[in-house]
A and B are shown apart, each in its own frame.
Chain A
Amino acid sequence: MSEKSREFWRWREYRYTMPDMDWHDTKVVTAGVDIGSVGSKAAVMLDGELYSYAAMRTGGESEETAIKVMNWALEETELKTENVPYVVGTGYGRVNVPFAKRTITEIACHARGAHYIYGPTVRTVLDIGGQDCKAIRCDEKGKVMSFLMNDKCAAGTGRGLEVFTDLIRVPIEELGKTSLDVEDEPPPVSNTCVIFAKAESLALLRQGRSKEKVAAAYHLAMVNRIIDLLIKVGIEKDFVVTGGVAKNTGIVSRLERKLGIRPLEPKLDPILAGAVGAALFAKALYEKEIGLR
């Protein structure tokens, strides 16, 4: 594959099943399927504990993707979708999860998922998704108090990073690290439009700036936009970041530096927050259905 046509933005898809858990001796098996604009995730839970999950790219056909990601999550578990009595769909494509009994927004699911992944002290959740960015305030139960979403600008989203990582030809998983490889922070790229931010970065590269410097400038601009959103919603500790971009140290560490608040360390893959939240709602809904609550 030639340097040019390599797709640096294409992140690795993966699945995992907790080795030391067994679904045979559980009361409630539920699942949450989070069909995002870029990534789709499925989480299977046993009595409200994460058991098995998968994350893959959202294809052009979201219904198909939903089935794929669910099956993949169940692989190696001998479970079939029809063995999971209650599935909740969430994310951009939530209405296209054929086997979901109900849909709940990613806002509510991310708050609840964050509560599971990071614990009850979480008050502010930042979810940087494929094409939007959400700032959520929640209570000690993981219930949404208020939220804001960014206004149609990809400069603060995963898609923006994909476009950019392709430009400087660095695999997206390493992008954040690359951006931190600078002695001192350069000024941020001035353009908020993702296309122009790209053009501006290209110009910088052509002026002979290093990949690292340009990456830093791009990340900085992105962080500034995210912070605007956090300020609007009003940030309160504990603060956590969910979604794929949470793994980007270039974003997270800069957020920490600028806000002076250290985001909590995740106990689980934060990209699963939405799916996990959905699975937890599924549990509650199922228990209601069978009269357990």
Chain B
Amino acid sequence: MVETIKKFPTEQLKCWNEAKNLRKSYYENYLNAHEKGGVRWAGGAWSFSSIPAGLGEDVYSLTGEPYGATIAFFKDFTAKCHEATEAAGFPRTLCAYMRNYWGSILLDKYILADGKVIDEHPAPDFIWQDHICCSHGKWYQVARWLEEKKGKKVPMYCVDVSVGYPMDKPLEEYKINYIFQQLNDGVEWLEKVTGREYDDKLLCEAVWNEINATRLWADICTLNQAVPAPLDEKSMYSLYVMGTIMKHRPECVAFYEKLKAEVEDRVRRGIAAVANERFRVITDTQPPWGFLRIFREMEKYGVVSLGSLYTYGLIGMWKYRPDGTWATKDLPPRKPQTREEALRMIVEWTVDRPEWAHFYLPEAKTKMMLSIVKQWKVDAVLLHYNRGCEGLSVHIAENRHGLVEAGVPVFPFEGNMGDEREFDLLGTLARLTTFFESMGLKKLRE
């Protein structure tokens, strides 16, 4: 039996194309950095990207996870990448982004945001990474090893941030200091490997940009508490990504300011992301990128996904208020003035990143997800048992427990963010609709 319900008004996002263009030019800028006499570096989306910014205005980066995800969008290229890494002798159970990335080096091909494949993988001038998940440091260590086989020596610096996460008290000073010292050495290292003089002013700017960008994104996510939700997870993917590729850049801050204004306006006018919203869900980790149509299937049941701990907390910065609500983290009292101040500020800003917390404590992730469920008026949670990412699916079974015990309906599904061989679309859809029907939902008339 199919049902019909009243529909909310919808509108295409105005800054949609701007988002697309920012992403497009990002990959091109990295590619063409040298033509403009610029510097290009590679590292993770979580690396302290504001530090290399002190090398000059013409410093461009390629962050690994978004690049791995971009590859995952284009199944043929992904398949080639996996074939290449497996042929090189790497197990197929490794991080899927990492295998995509290595594959791109092994094939010596580079893919742009629109899927255009270019010959020759542009090697970075240096690698600037951080390490919290077992694969972070290894990822670029191998990337470097592969480049070296092609005769390119790439220097690598990797900051260890695996100092833990205190549930309720602030992190001890010696832990903050451990990271700070590494960054401090890092600045000198950057000068050494690039032969450039380091500009502390640019550093302070970049740090302040990053702090603002990551706050703005949290604000935007908060707006999704509204009914109907102004944004859905699928479109958020194209928006949060700015924070993963250029969180320290002024363009990012500017874009998020514009976006925030637009979303506020949507809320004011009751514009929905999904016209027939009537059941609100969230997910947790990265989706199987090649199969975003699951979200379309969900809409047929009037189900909208408001986002995920991943889209909210990967780069958005949050904290618990005294009243127990989860909200945007407060802006530090003033913009940093010196290198020391800037480095300390960014360390203290970063250490309680939501997506880092649950690397250590399952309770932390459960608590945050429960807050989202409550504050965002969520009806059910979809947990992606993501075979492609150890880091974000660590403790996931515990989270399932925590949510179920708190009375939240949970739908766990197995998949892989970057390796389509490990995602069974038809089977998952069948189980998903079973879940919705067990929730008493029926398919809606088109």
Q: Does B86 contact A (CB under 8 A)?
A: yes
Selected from B86, B421, B424, the residue in CB contact (under 8 A) with A232 is B86
Selected from B86, B87, B89, B421, the residue in CB contact (under 8 A) with A192 is B421
Q: Does A287 contact B (CB under 8 A)?
A: no
- A191 CA / B87 CA spacing, docked (Å): 21
| Size of the chain A interface, CB-CB below 8 angstroms | 7
**Considering only CB atoms, which chain B residue lies closest to A227 in the complex?**
B83
Selected from B87, B421, B424, the residue in CB contact (under 8 A) with A231 is B87
- A191 CA / B83 CA spacing, docked (Å): 17
Write the A169-194 contact mask toward B (1 if CB under 8 angstroms, else 0).
00000000000000000000011100
Cβ–Cβ contact A191 & B86, under 8 A: no
Chain A residues near B421: list those with CB within 8 A.
190, 192
List CB contacts (< 8 Å) of B230-260 with chain A: none
**Considering only CB atoms, which chain B residue lies closest to A193 in the complex?**
B424
Chain A residues near B83: list those with CB within 8 A.
228, 231
- A228 CA / B85 CA spacing, docked (Å): 11
Query: From residue A151, how far is it (CB to closest CB) to chain B in Å?
Result: 9
Query: From residue A97, how far is it (CB to closest CB) to chain B in Å?
Result: 35
Write the B70-90 contact mask toward A (1 if CB under 8 angstroms, else 0).
000000000000010011010
Write the B14-39 contact mask toward A (1 if CB under 8 angstroms, else 0).
00000000000000000000000000
Cβ–Cβ contact A228 & B424, under 8 A: no
Chain A residues near B424: list those with CB within 8 A.
190-191, 196
Query: From residue B230, how far is it (CB to closest CB) to chain A in Å?
Result: 36
- A58 CA / B270 CA spacing, docked (Å): 71
Query: From residue A166, how far is it (CB to closest CB) to chain B in Å?
Result: 23
Chain B residues near A191: list those with CB within 8 A.
424
List CB contacts (< 8 Å) of A206-235 with chain B: 228, 231-232
- A95 CA / B421 CA spacing, docked (Å): 37
- A232 CA / B88 CA spacing, docked (Å): 7
Chain A residues near B89: list those with CB within 8 A.
232
Query: From residue B5, how far is it (CB to closest CB) to chain A in Å?
Result: 32
**Considering only CB atoms, which chain A residue lies closest to B423 in the complex?**
A190
Q: Looking at chain B, what size class is its interface with the partner chain?
A: under 10
Query: From residue A202, how far is it (CB to closest CB) to chain B in Å?
Result: 13
**Considering only CB atoms, which chain B residue lies closest to A234 in the complex?**
B87
List CB contacts (< 8 Å) of A246-289 with chain B: none
Write the B393-434 contact mask toward A (1 if CB under 8 angstroms, else 0).
000000000000000000000000000010010000000000
- A228 CA / B79 CA spacing, docked (Å): 11
- A228 CA / B83 CA spacing, docked (Å): 7
Chain B residues near A190: list those with CB within 8 A.
421, 424
Chain B residues near A228: list those with CB within 8 A.
83, 86-87
Query: From residue B110, how far is it (CB to closest CB) to chain A in Å?
Result: 22
- A191 CA / B425 CA spacing, docked (Å): 11
**Considering only CB atoms, which chain B residue lies closest to A199 in the complex?**
B427
Write the B375-387 contact mask toward A (1 if CB under 8 angstroms, else 0).
0000000000000
Query: From residue B104, how far is it (CB to closest CB) to chain A in Å?
Result: 17
Write the A41-72 contact mask toward B (1 if CB under 8 angstroms, else 0).
00000000000000000000000000000000
Query: From residue B106, how far is it (CB to closest CB) to chain A in Å?
Result: 12
Write the B88-124 contact mask toward A (1 if CB under 8 angstroms, else 0).
0100000000000000000000000000000000000
Chain B residues near A231: list those with CB within 8 A.
83, 86-87
Chain A residues near B86: list those with CB within 8 A.
228, 231-232
- A130 CA / B421 CA spacing, docked (Å): 24
- A109 CA / B424 CA spacing, docked (Å): 39
- A203 CA / B424 CA spacing, docked (Å): 14
Query: From residue B429, how far is it (CB to closest CB) to chain A in Å?
Result: 13
Query: From residue A256, how far is it (CB to closest CB) to chain B in Å?
Result: 19
- A228 CA / B86 CA spacing, docked (Å): 8
- A192 CA / B87 CA spacing, docked (Å): 18
**Considering only CB atoms, which chain B residue lies closest to A203 in the complex?**
B426
List CB contacts (< 8 Å) of B139-159 with chain A: none
Query: From residue B427, how far is it (CB to closest CB) to chain A in Å?
Result: 8
- A191 CA / B424 CA spacing, docked (Å): 8
- A166 CA / B351 CA spacing, docked (Å): 59
Chain B residues near A232: list those with CB within 8 A.
86-87, 89
Query: From residue A169, how far is it (CB to closest CB) to chain B in Å?
Result: 24
- A190 CA / B426 CA spacing, docked (Å): 11
- A146 CA / B421 CA spacing, docked (Å): 28
- A145 CA / B124 CA spacing, docked (Å): 37
- A190 CA / B89 CA spacing, docked (Å): 23
**Considering only CB atoms, which chain B residue lies closest to A233 in the complex?**
B87
Chain B residues near A196: list those with CB within 8 A.
424
- A231 CA / B103 CA spacing, docked (Å): 14
- A192 CA / B92 CA spacing, docked (Å): 14
- A186 CA / B107 CA spacing, docked (Å): 27
Chain B residues near A192: list those with CB within 8 A.
421
- A70 CA / B101 CA spacing, docked (Å): 54
Query: From residue A207, how far is it (CB to closest CB) to chain B in Å?
Result: 12
Known: A228-B83, A228-B87, A232-B86. 11 other contacts (CB 8 A): A190-B421, A190-B424, A191-B424, A192-B421, A196-B424, A228-B86, A231-B83, A231-B86, A231-B87, A232-B87, A232-B89
A residues apposed to B, CB below 8 Å = 190-192, 196, 228, 231-232
Listed A/B pairs (10) with beta-carbon separation below 8 Å: A190-B421, A191-B424, A192-B421, A196-B424, A228-B87, A231-B83, A231-B86, A231-B87, A232-B86, A232-B87
Which 10 A-B residue pairs are closest in the complex by CB-CB distance?
A231-B87, A232-B87, A228-B86, A232-B86, A231-B83, A192-B421, A228-B83, A232-B89, A191-B424, A190-B424
B residues apposed to A, CB below 8 Å = 83, 86-87, 89, 421, 424
